[in-house]
A and B are shown apart, each in its own frame.
Chain A
């Protein structure tokens, strides 16, 4: 029996620029990615697998430094003499200035250095073939050269037609076992979710090969969860009511432990003074992390009525609405904000950035 623990797309040293997080928070996110690698190695030791395999994007080449390389090497060294087999991905290609190339790797680590298939005998009965990126993009169908016809550029049919028993892949950041009932290939997904689009749990794969055949078992590995919640503030006449609604979310333990993003929706009361920053300050400590609150509420003004007024305000509302009707959709948010700010100015209310 041979057992392999497979993971991919860890993206160490990733930039969290896409998130509107504070610098210290981004650093924390990166530290969590490292922690995930530690846990994976711990799991491999615990399960006493025969090999740990990496399906690419272990780190991000243009961001990772030697410190990260040394960290990876020391983690992998903990597994010796069990082997670690790394297939460089499009984010961590095997190029001269890569960590793979430059660093001294422990003897139990093997890196697939070319885009042509290289066999590694894991037992008398199991051979693992590997290939790695030499640059950021791959155009060839690799499986075609393995008497198989796949990487990304390949299709499901390619794998099913190939002579391989199982394909351990990387690239998609969510778990994919295909076909679902009797998988022939698998994307483990990223061990930790990397942004709000990667909701839910994340996994590594345990592949077991015995006399009967191969089985593939996902094992949950993530500690972090991203979650998005919307609050309808219609009928809430005070900031305090909204604050309480946000705090109420944290009563769910999972939400409190998540990286949370709150969006406000609905029709606010006209005299509601919505200070998002103050709201964030007064609620964020209830959560593991609370992203800046997003205001997607409707305008509190009765535009129909205002547009009927014979006042300058009415003329203003009419003119802006006319302009909105005449403008391309891309300009609408600005015009909507202009209307909102103008009406607040007429009303003598404080004008805050939306």
Chain B
């Protein structure tokens, strides 16, 4: 940024002031009260207004009021400036109102651009912050040096070291960069883009070179491929030649073997021919010797043999059947006699033909039954007689005892026993005896006898029941013991007799029943025989009569069946005899016929057998004749086959040829002699054909491989040429890539340097300080260092070599150091952004003349070398003289002489300002310390 013109309607003591500002060094020279400091403050107010912080309205107003014009009503000013990019602007500010309205416009186009910067508080237009990248506080700390404030870079109400550092860093990080570096980067990018290029731009050198390289490599690959094919062809050619050689040798050997085999076969054929000739002669003889039988009627032989066989068979059978036939004839005669006798018997028995002999079993059963019944009757009759004999003497006793004691019951017997016991103990022995007897009887008779006795007693009791029942108590209860003894003895006897009697009565009854049965059986038998026999009076004879008749009838039946059997046998015997006789007749007839035929054929007479032998002999001769004919024909055929349509002479020629070929083979390759093979001629021929085919194929292959490798490489560039091209392109690509890499590195490092260099401002500013201090002090101090944390400056004392704070040195050295620090900071910031115009208000008051000159020389160098703009406000005559010496003719430099302004009191200024005006001091902002005038 360079200020080019300032116009002030009214600002503090200045009014209607206008001045073009030099682009380099502009010195405003004038005595006290000529408005130098006011002009400097006016420039600051034009650049930044009176705005300070966000809530600084009161101090801002105070500052504004300080410069209210003394006479002039219009508290306004304007400033023209130019940026490094060539744009020029005009800023106009009206400080009269609280909002001191501001406008910025483009001088070239006349366009108002106020709104481009955004409105700040109370109408502030922060164009400086946008265009220079500096806040007012930072600007005041480095570029704006007012009277007496030289040593105060930081401190109360000023920028802090931290703020200053941040401002520099933020300036370094903004896009506003060092123009020369920016241009260097652009130049490098341009070269990279145009002279190297990348894949995005195909026509640029690097992609073009890469494409050429790739194409050349492909071509080389193609050449190598073809060369490899040629090499492979050459290998194949050699192999094919070797194979062909091997096959040729094999063919020679197989040819030899084939000749050998064929010769053997031909010779074998010739031998066979000789054998066939011999056989032919033999059969010719046979043919001739049997020629008379050529026409013999051998065709009838079969039939005649059959007839002869038939006669022989018949004859044989007749001889073998003869004895049997005789035996049967005799038997037939016997049978005839026998039949006659049987026929006689049959006629005699003929009258029993109708008798029912079939009933005999029934009758026999009835007879049996009858006889059995008879036997039973006889036996029971005997038993009844025996029982009657035993019972006869006892009957009377039984009849007597029965009514008295037969009805005694068991109870009765007990009671009697009781009676016997009680009164007469003296009779105890008797009673005992009785009881023992009764008990013994009872034991012997058993249950049957007891029951029989009981039956008898009951019957007796029931007979007496009427009387017995009358007195309820048995009378036995009161009988005397003697009576009781007697009764018991009687009772005992009754029990002994009663069974014998009963048995006799039962036997009598059984005898009566048997008799009845016997009579019934007799009546049955009689009834059965009724009608079959003549007399039934005596049953025994009637039975005999029946049996005789029945057996006669059976005899008749037997004879009849015998007659039938005889008849049947006779019939068969007669058939056999008849057949035998018929066969004999047939034999005679057949013999006759055969004899007749053979006589005709053989042509002489004789027995049948003689004739037949003669016939057979003739047939044999005929057969021999036929065989000779057939054999001769076969030999003829075989000869044809063996000769294969050639003549024997031709066969001999072939043999000769084979022998010659074999000789030639051996001559060509002696090692073949004696070579043998199991393979037949056909197999050898096949092998030979196959090998010849292979050989032909190989020869074709050899020929094609030969011609192909000759033509393969034509049309391709020489490999060396392509290799050179590849090398060239490879070099080019490598060089371009390296060029690109170097350019990129340069580009990137510059980019980084732009930031890093300014971020790390202390060394840079330190270097400026060192150079400046050395120049200003005439080489006494040549080392200055800045502590970025405190913004203190140290330097090396030449006498001691120690580093000391400049604050302990002379005022002049101190002033020089801090002025250099400010200029160094401004210069540093200018190098990374817009150049900052330096506004210096009498900074050199503490320097002696020599140092002033040195310092001014340094400023002039900055103006000339670094293109800085410096506005220097001074009353110093030495400075004026220096200017006239050094810059009078420099169009970049100018000096403006300001005249004193007298008797002016501003309207409405503060008491302090009025005081200041009255005492003749220049009104100043923040003027603590400093020497002022």
Spell out A's residues near B (CB within 8 Å).
Answer: 13-18, 20-21, 23, 26-27, 30, 60, 62-63, 65-66, 95-97, 101-102, 308, 310-316, 318-320, 323, 333-335, 337-342, 345-346, 348, 351, 353-354
Complex-state Cα separation, A341 to B237, whole angstroms: 60
Name the CB-closest residue of A to B731: A20
Contact B757 A314 (CB under 8 A): yes
Q: Does B710 contact A (CB under 8 A)?
A: yes
Q: Which of B184, B231, B719, B743 has the most CB of A within 10 A?
A: B184
What would 17 more interface pairs be, CB under 8 Å, given A95-B234, A319-B753? A15-B727, A17-B726, A63-B718, A65-B718, A97-B227, A310-B764, A312-B832, A315-B753, A315-B756, A333-B738, A338-B746, A342-B184, A342-B750, A345-B191, A346-B184, A348-B187, A351-B743
Contact B180 A346 (CB under 8 A): yes
B178 contact from A308, A312, A318, A338, Cβ within 8 A:
A312
Q: Does B52 contact A (CB under 8 A)?
A: no
Complex-state Cα separation, A28 to B156, whole angstroms: 85
Known: A26-B720, A311-B178, A345-B185. A334 touches B738 (CB 8 A): yes
Known: A319-B752, A338-B742. A30 touches B720 (CB 8 A): yes
Contact B235 A97 (CB under 8 A): yes
Name the CB-closest residue of B to A347: B184
Contact B709 A102 (CB under 8 A): yes
Q: Which of B389-437 contact A (CB under 8 A)?
A: none
- In the assembled complex, how far is the CB of residue B242 from the closest CB belonging to chain A, in whole angstroms? 11
Contact B234 A96 (CB under 8 A): yes
- In the assembled complex, how far is the CB of residue B737 from the closest CB belonging to chain A, in whole angstroms? 10
Contact A351 B191 (CB under 8 A): yes
Contact B749 A342 (CB under 8 A): yes
Complex-state Cα separation, A341 to B189, whole angstroms: 11
Name the CB-closest residue of B to A30: B720
Complex-state Cα separation, A63 to B722, whole angstroms: 10
Complex-state Cα separation, A65 to B709, whole angstroms: 11
Q: Does B840 contact A (CB under 8 A)?
A: no
Q: Does B797 contact A (CB under 8 A)?
A: no
Complex-state Cα separation, A306 to B824, whole angstroms: 18
Complex-state Cα separation, A13 to B713, whole angstroms: 15
Q: Does B183 contact A (CB under 8 A)?
A: yes
Complex-state Cα separation, A43 to B735, whole angstroms: 45
Q: Which residues of A contact B764 (CB under 8 A)?
A: 310
Q: Which residues of A contact B180 (CB under 8 A)?
A: 311-313, 346
Contact B709 A97 (CB under 8 A): yes
Q: Does B728 contact A (CB under 8 A)?
A: yes
- In the assembled complex, how far is the CB of residue A108 from the closest CB belonging to chain B, in whole angstroms? 24
Contact B234 A342 (CB under 8 A): no
Q: Which residues of A contact B728 (CB under 8 A)?
A: 17, 20, 23
Q: Which residues of A contact B739 (CB under 8 A)?
A: 337, 353-354
Known: A97-B231, A342-B749. A23 touches B725 (CB 8 A): yes
Interface residue total, chain B, C-beta cutoff 8 A: 59
Q: Which residues of B contact A16 (CB under 8 A)?
A: 720, 724
Known: A63-B718, A316-B750. A335 touches B767 (CB 8 A): no
Complex-state Cα separation, A30 to B180, whole angstroms: 52
Q: Does B195 contact A (CB under 8 A)?
A: yes
Q: Does B723 contact A (CB under 8 A)?
A: yes
Q: Which residues of A contact B713 (CB under 8 A)?
A: 65-66
A66 contact from B231, B710, B741, Cβ within 8 A:
B710
| Per-position binary interface string of chain B over residues 214-241, scored 1 when its CB falls under 8 Å from any chain A CB and 0 otherwise | 0000000000100100110111011000
List of 8 A-B pairs having minimum Cβ-Cβ separation, nearest first: A315-B757, A17-B727, A310-B764, A342-B746, A15-B720, A97-B234, A96-B234, A337-B742
Contact B234 A13 (CB under 8 A): no
- In the assembled complex, how far is the CB of residue A197 from the closest CB belonging to chain B, in whole angstroms? 16
Contact A23 B721 (CB under 8 A): yes
Complex-state Cα separation, A348 to B184, whole angstroms: 7
A341 contact from B710, B718, B746, Cβ within 8 A:
B746
Q: Which residues of B contact A310 (CB under 8 A)?
A: 757, 763-765, 767-768, 828, 831
- In the assembled complex, how far is the CB of residue A47 from the closest CB belonging to chain B, in whole angstroms? 31
Q: Does B181 contact A (CB under 8 A)?
A: yes
Contact B831 A312 (CB under 8 A): yes
Contact A96 B231 (CB under 8 A): yes
Known: A310-B765, A311-B178, A346-B184. A319 touches B749 (CB 8 A): yes
Q: Which residues of B contact A313 (CB under 8 A)?
A: 180-181, 184, 753
B188 contact from A17, A314, A339, A345, Cβ within 8 A:
A345
Contact B756 A17 (CB under 8 A): no
Contact B754 A312 (CB under 8 A): yes
Q: Does B745 contact A (CB under 8 A)?
A: yes
Contact B749 A320 (CB under 8 A): yes
Q: Which residues of A contact B828 (CB under 8 A)?
A: 310
In the complex, 25 of the A-B residue pairs with CB atoms within 8 angstroms, ordered by the A residue number, are A21-B724, A60-B720, A96-B234, A97-B234, A97-B709, A102-B709, A310-B757, A310-B767, A311-B180, A313-B181, A316-B749, A316-B750, A319-B752, A334-B741, A338-B742, A340-B742, A341-B743, A341-B746, A345-B191, A345-B746, A346-B180, A346-B181, A353-B195, A353-B735, A353-B739
| Per-position binary interface string of chain B over residues 177-201, scored 1 when its CB falls under 8 Å from any chain A CB and 0 otherwise | 0101101110110010001000000
Q: Which residues of B contact A346 (CB under 8 A)?
A: 180-181, 184, 750
A335 contact from B743, B745, B756, Cβ within 8 A:
B745
Q: Which residues of A contact B763 (CB under 8 A)?
A: 310
Contact A63 B725 (CB under 8 A): no
Q: Which residues of B contact A341 (CB under 8 A)?
A: 188, 191, 742-743, 746
Contact A15 B724 (CB under 8 A): yes
Q: Which residues of A contact B723 (CB under 8 A)?
A: 15, 17, 63
Name the CB-closest residue of A to B736: A353
Contact B727 A18 (CB under 8 A): yes
- In the assembled complex, how far is the CB of residue A20 from the closest CB belonging to chain B, in whole angstroms? 7
- In the assembled complex, how far is the CB of residue B827 from the closest CB belonging to chain A, in whole angstroms? 8
Contact B767 A308 (CB under 8 A): yes
| Per-position binary interface string of chain B over residues 613-624, scored 1 when its CB falls under 8 Å from any chain A CB and 0 otherwise | 000000000000
Name the CB-closest residue of B to A27: B721
Q: Which of B567-610 contact A (CB under 8 A)?
A: none
- In the assembled complex, how far is the CB of residue A111 from the closest CB belonging to chain B, in whole angstroms? 15
B720 contact from A63, A316, A334, Cβ within 8 A:
A63
- In the assembled complex, how far is the CB of residue A304 from the closest CB belonging to chain B, in whole angstroms? 14
- In the assembled complex, how far is the CB of residue B205 from the closest CB belonging to chain A, in whole angstroms? 10
Q: Which residues of A contact B727 (CB under 8 A)?
A: 15, 17-18
Q: Which residues of B contact A23 (CB under 8 A)?
A: 721, 724-725, 728
B183 contact from A314, A315, A348, Cβ within 8 A:
A348
Contact A26 B724 (CB under 8 A): yes
- In the assembled complex, how far is the CB of residue A243 from the closest CB belonging to chain B, in whole angstroms? 23
Q: Which of A26, A312, A314, A318 has the most CB of B within 10 A?
A: A312
- In the assembled complex, how far is the CB of residue A72 from the closest CB belonging to chain B, in whole angstroms? 15
Name the CB-closest residue of B to A16: B724
Q: Which of A65, A96, A333 has the most CB of B within 10 A?
A: A96
Q: Which residues of A contact B747 (CB under 8 A)?
A: 342
Complex-state Cα separation, A21 to B34, whole angstroms: 79
Complex-state Cα separation, A315 to B185, whole angstroms: 14
A63 contact from B178, B719, B735, Cβ within 8 A:
B719
Contact B231 A95 (CB under 8 A): yes
Q: Which of B231-290 contact A (CB under 8 A)?
A: 231, 233-235, 237-238
Q: Which of B183, B743, B757 has the most CB of A within 10 A?
A: B757
Name the CB-closest residue of B to A311: B831
Name the CB-closest residue of A to B205: A353
Contact B746 A339 (CB under 8 A): yes
- In the assembled complex, how far is the CB of residue B491 from the closest CB belonging to chain A, in whole angstroms? 164
Complex-state Cα separation, A16 to B718, whole angstroms: 12
Complex-state Cα separation, A260 to B765, whole angstroms: 53
Name the CB-closest residue of B to A12: B720
Q: Which residues of A contact B231 (CB under 8 A)?
A: 95-97
B742 contact from A14, A20, A314, A334, Cβ within 8 A:
A334
Complex-state Cα separation, A338 to B718, whole angstroms: 39
- In the assembled complex, how far is the CB of residue B471 from the closest CB belonging to chain A, in whole angstroms? 174
Q: Which residues of B contact A319 (CB under 8 A)?
A: 749, 752-753, 756
Complex-state Cα separation, A93 to B723, whole angstroms: 21
